[in-house]
Structure 1
């Protein structure tokens, strides 16, 4: 039985040596070399450089620096450099570390944004921090790698969405004021001085009386002016003597409305035309 185990171990050892030999055959280039299409090994170019001309039996690899906005960040046997990453503001990004010939651009989130996709120490895509709604407060402020966290205000407090702690509603009674509008989760209570009803009446009633008196005085002045102009009209005496006082007043009122403060000179102010407010002739 022991001899059988030793024979099996010997077979496994031989197989391992065989496969290692095959691997060495396929990976015959040194660590700092690259393999061409024809299987020939050439020295690699340093980071920041690319292959311009492959090596030959008599010459080594010819390398040239990467152009602007391109890079290679490792020893290589590449014919072309990689394009530098562009930090797109439309993706919520800005430059953190600028691109060089031997390193790519490193992007970071704009202010008010947080990264949602990272690669090799840089951010690829970012999003805006959410804004808390009125009635919520900022429980945890957003960072470059974490979104804002919001929470609801409790009863008796309020926040417009930008506060980091909900504020208690103002107590108008404690301030010696009257509550005009109660507070909500998004706004404070409104306080003010309550005006007594008697004071309101004391202001409005005299104001109404003053306006009424002014209107009456103005009307009387206009009436007097209209009568004075009409007295110069040869038909004026005829008007006055042929109508009652109420109709005379109506006629003068029609004169005032229809003639724009100019007297009506209808042949007879007692006529139906004038009484109905139709004044066909005006004194100019």
Structure 2
């Protein structure tokens, strides 16, 4: 059984321990160094010299491209985050002495990992394939959602809705190539009857004339030879004609 003296001694020991703990604990705006509590530096500043019994903490501003965003007892500032375009990032809010850089995804990217309100990694939005349309456009934190085109419509992958195939007959044209899910129907002009007739005439008539000339030449080879001789020597041609006349008599 514990006597009254021992109880009093135990209470005194606990009180003494609490007093020492309270005495050694620094305030929320202080930091402990070598058993002494020193005032913290404000955000954007770092410790240049720790406090002493006679002097307070000496603080200096963070250098360029460095920061500290909270009251502190640090002797070095943190390096500002670099938004790497190779990671699909760009600067949203520049770094200051009291705050780090805030990064965001590039226009064609979306964030897949973030820390304290800043994106630290992004990837490119999905490009919809031909035959698909953009059902939901990609955002800063969400990828693009694609969907297949229905029959009778098409998309090259960049449309937000599939487009209906052109109806060539309604346009007074002829369908040259049927449409697919990835391309429109191809239409062309119908060939006019008059144009067809003109083409046939321009081809058939010269051919017919050439054939007729060849046939005549094949049937009367001597006449052709005689005509050629007369053309070369008209005088002899006249003598031959006269002689031929005498023989006929």
TM over 0.5: yes
After superposition, where does 1:61-72 map in structure 2 within 5 Å? 61-72=57-68
Q: Distance in 2 between the 1:23 and 1:82 partners?
A: 35
Unaligned runs of 5+ in 1: 1-13, 214-284
| 2:53 is equivalent to residue 32 of structure 1 | no
Q: Deviations over 1:95-126 (max 9, x none)?
A: 11111100011111111111111111111111
How many Å separate the matches in 1 of 2:174 and 2:99? Answer: 68
Return the alpha-carbon distance in structure 2 between the equivalents of residues 135 and 23 of structure 1.
Answer: 77
Deviation at 1:46, TM superposition (A): 0.5
**1:156-213, Cα deviation, whole Å (9 max, x unpaired):** 1101111111111111122222111000001111111232689557526735876997
Query: What's the secondary structure of 2:202's corresponding residue?
Result: helix
CA distance 1:113–1:25, change in 2 (3 Å): same
Ranges of 4+ aligned residues in structure 1 off by more than 3 Å: 20-27, 196-202, 204-213
Q: Which residue pairs with 2:86 in the alignment?
A: 90
Change (3 A) 1:199 1:41: same
Aligned residue runs from structure 1 range 1-284, under 5 A: 21=18, 24=21, 28-36=25-33, 38-195=34-191, 199-200=195-196, 202-203=198-199, 206=202
Instruction: State how far apart, in whole Å, the 2-side matches of 1:185 and 1:79 are.
Output: 65
1:22: Cα distance to partner? Answer: 9.5
Structure 1 residues 208 and 119, CA gap change in structure 2 (3 angstroms): farther
Task: Give the conservation status (yes or no) of the 8 Å contact 2:24–2:35.
Answer: no
Q: List per-residue Cα deviations over 1:219-240 (Å, max 9, x = no partner).
A: xxxxxxxxxxxxxxxxxxxxxx
Distance 2:186 2:19 in 1: 87
Within 2, Cα distance between the matches of 1:21 and 1:158? Answer: 79
- C-alpha separation in 1, matches of 2:156 and 2:19: 72
- Count of residues in Structure 1 that have an aligned counterpart in Structure 2: 198
RMSD (CA atoms): 3.0
Equivalent residue for 1:275? none
TM-score by length of 1: 0.63
CA distance in 2 between partners of 1:115 and 1:96 (Å)? 13
Mapped partners of 1:123, 1:210: distance in 2: 79
Distance 1:23 1:93, change over 3 A: farther
Q: Distance in 2 between matches of 1:99 and 1:208?
A: 84
Output the CA distance in 2 between the equivalents of 1:90 and 1:83.
Answer: 19
* TM-score, length basis structure 2: 0.71
